[in-house]
Chains A and B, each alone.
Chain A
Amino acid sequence: MTSRDSKAAVAFLAPALILLGFFRLWPAARSLAESLRGWSGAEARAFVGLANYRYLFQEDPVFWSSVQVTLKYAVIASPITVAAALGLAFLLRGKGRRLSFLRTLCFLPSAVSLSVMAVVWGLMLDPYYGLANSILKRLGVPPQPFLSSTNQALACLILIAVWRNAGYWMMFFLAGMESIPKEVYEASALDGASSQQQAWRITIPLLARTMSFVLVANTTFNFVTFAPVFILTRGGPIGSTNLLMYEAYKSAFVYLDPGRAMAMSSLTLLGVLILSIVQLKLARARFEC
């Protein structure tokens, strides 16, 4: 039963709504408004309509290559992460100390910030003294340039993202597996289904919704990735890891071109908003809305 005392409800809600409105919604609106203004150090920047967007789409090759890099990063990293997370969930579900230790171990990197994990992998992938090349050498593989190569840098960032996030999303799959009634498995076992058949015919189909949620949520995260680029590659070598968020950051704080930065950030926000609404629809049951 809920109370209909609207006045009390508003009073309880007000502080949080004011804060969220001012520090989340208002910036989003500001971003749109500012993206319609030009470049100028002066106090009042002139209204230029869609000129910033027209410039981005028609005359800004750096923006386009950044979009491509971002799409490549998100489109490759997200499905691999989902597959790895699902694989881990199948492998590590069940009782026992050993499995529970491994579950905790796989989750640990996602409790820690992506920035620290980027530092860890920066050290791991150091061409001269990193552990990765030490292991490769032992296996007879010549040392790799990793982050300093245009061909490998983006792949390394993808690897870092998959490694860090797989354990996080694994927990969502384990939660989904928990919620499948045991009777379903018992009944199918009576019908002679092997555990492999159960995985393909019961668990995976019943996890379809969780999978699409995780895929969209992970894509949203990847879409706004900033830390590993800032820490490890600064967008390089030769723009090969220049993700959108980093380019927007440079536009605002290095090139001091707020119009371009706001246009880029508005486009990013639009993408994130769409992805978030899809997520909300997919996770309706969990959010009860």
Chain B
Amino acid sequence: MQSRKCGNTTQSRAIAGRIVRAIPREALLLAVAAIYLLPLWWVTASSLRPAGSLYQYAIPISWRTFFPDELTLANFANIFAKLDFGQAMSNTFLVSAITVALGLVVNSMAGFALAKFDFPCKRLVFVIILVTFIAPFDAIVIPLHQVVSDLGLINTRAALILPAVGNGLAIFLFKQFFEGIPSELLESARTDGASWWRVFWQIVMPISLPAIATAAVMMFLFQWNSLFWPLIAAFSSRFRMVQVAVATQIAADQTHWANLFASAVMGSLPPIILFLLLQKRYLKGIAGMKGE
């Protein structure tokens, strides 16, 4: 595995043997890198290519297929100027920001109740909360449309925000974090006469920044990445969300490749940046990884 690090003491024959044995593994690593890198690289490179030369180097394949000889941001300027992509992005940021703000309050409170209180039917409540996040949201979207429609909220921003505020994953993350806070800390504040409300906001939340950050990222990504619900809940272009903008564009505009490349890149940038910045916390949140 670490053939390159062998010391001088090892016989050259043994080194050669190790190198030969490492070849299949190296080949596999290279294949994995290619399978994942090629599509991402190609789309990014193409998004930076002048729209006129997009098809020119597509086939036959050459190094020019992956390295544009001329770089431009014109495609990005175009989707913002002509396709209202900017509006979709700012709308999504606004919807996500409100969802995250409300969601942090509501879900942290629920996580606190589950972590620090005993009450009747606690297990049942917790299991229901878990099921609401284990079951994919898209499964509920069509009947949800009926419910929101009865409220008269279809085609409003509230329709995009409200269903996403209560978030089982965020509740679960908060619960787990709060369980690590010693109860004695809270009890002593209680005996000093502080209400549970004050204990929560003045003692618990200020020391829970890691959980707040993880939950905020999860809720932001939920909104940024969702397609099905915004597609049917808010059809007016004023409320269009990013994924809907990307999806409806490929349907309407199959031939306009330059725009598709640029909007695919714009649609993935915020999640990728967030993931790269908060990788460890994020993976701990979803997969329960301990990290190094």
Contact A112 B183 (CB under 8 A): no
- Give which listed residue, A4, A163, A223, contacts B117 with CB less than 8 A: A4
Residues of A within 8 A of B35 (CB): 163
Looking at A24, A249, A262, the one whose CB has the most chain B CB atoms below 10 A away is A24
Q: Give the tally of cross-chain contacts (CB within 8 A).
A: 298
Residues of A within 8 A of B78 (CB): none
Contact B267 A112 (CB under 8 A): yes
The segment from B9-17, B68-76, B82-90, B245-253 that touches chain A is B245-253
Interface residues of B in 193-245 (CB under 8 A from A): 196, 200, 221, 224-228, 231-232, 243
Say whether A156 faces chain B, with CB atoms less than 8 Å apart: no
A9 to B125, CA, bound (A): 12
Known interface pairs A17-B110, A175-B289. Does A245 touch B131 (Cβ–Cβ under 8 Å)? no
- Give which listed residue, A111, A131, A168, A287, contacts B172 with CB less than 8 A: A287
Quick one: CB contact mask for A1-43 with B, threshold 8 Å, 1 for yes? 1111110111111011111101111111011001000000000
Question: In which size bucket is the chain A interface?
Answer: 35 or more
Residues of A within 8 A of B279 (CB): 104
Q: Is the interface of B mostly helix, strand, loop or mixed?
A: helix
Quick one: CB contact mask for A129-140 with B, threshold 8 Å, 1 for yes? 111011101100
Quick one: CB contact mask for A220-259 with B, threshold 8 Å, 1 for yes? 1101101100111010000000000100110011000010
Residues of A within 8 A of B46 (CB): 123
Contact B134 A13 (CB under 8 A): no
A13 to B168, CA, bound (A): 12
Question: In which size bucket is the chain B interface?
Answer: 35 or more
Contact B136 A224 (CB under 8 A): yes
Contact A19 B165 (CB under 8 A): yes
Residues of A within 8 A of B18 (CB): none
Q: Is the interface of A mostly helix, strand, loop or mixed?
A: helix
Known interface pairs A105-B36, A124-B42. Does A15 touch B106 (Cβ–Cβ under 8 Å)? yes
Question: Taking CB as reference atom, which chain A residue is nearest B162?
Answer: A23
Min Cβ gap B64→A in Å is 11
Say whether A119 faces chain B, with CB atoms less than 8 Å apart: yes
Looking at B35, B144, B260, the one whose CB has the most chain A CB atoms below 10 A away is B144
Residues of A within 8 A of B58 (CB): 129-131, 134
Interface residues of A in 80-106 (CB under 8 A from B): 88, 91-92, 94-95, 98, 102, 104-106
Question: Taking CB as reference atom, which chain A residue is nearest B142?
Answer: A265
A190 to B237, CA, bound (A): 66
Contact B117 A134 (CB under 8 A): no
Known interface pairs A15-B109, A112-B225, A113-B227. Does A119 touch B287 (Cβ–Cβ under 8 Å)? no
Say whether A188 faces chain B, with CB atoms less than 8 Å apart: no
A245 to B283, CA, bound (A): 29
Question: Taking CB as reference atom, which chain A residue is nearest B110?
Answer: A16
A285 to B132, CA, bound (A): 18
What are the 10 tightest A-B residue pairs by CB atom distance, in nearest-first order? A19-B166, A16-B110, A9-B117, A113-B225, A31-B143, A12-B113, A27-B143, A112-B268, A23-B163, A129-B58
Between A and B, 12 residue pairs with Cβ closer than 8 Å are: A16-B109, A28-B143, A91-B28, A104-B276, A128-B59, A171-B286, A220-B135, A223-B139, A234-B251, A245-B139, A252-B232, A276-B131
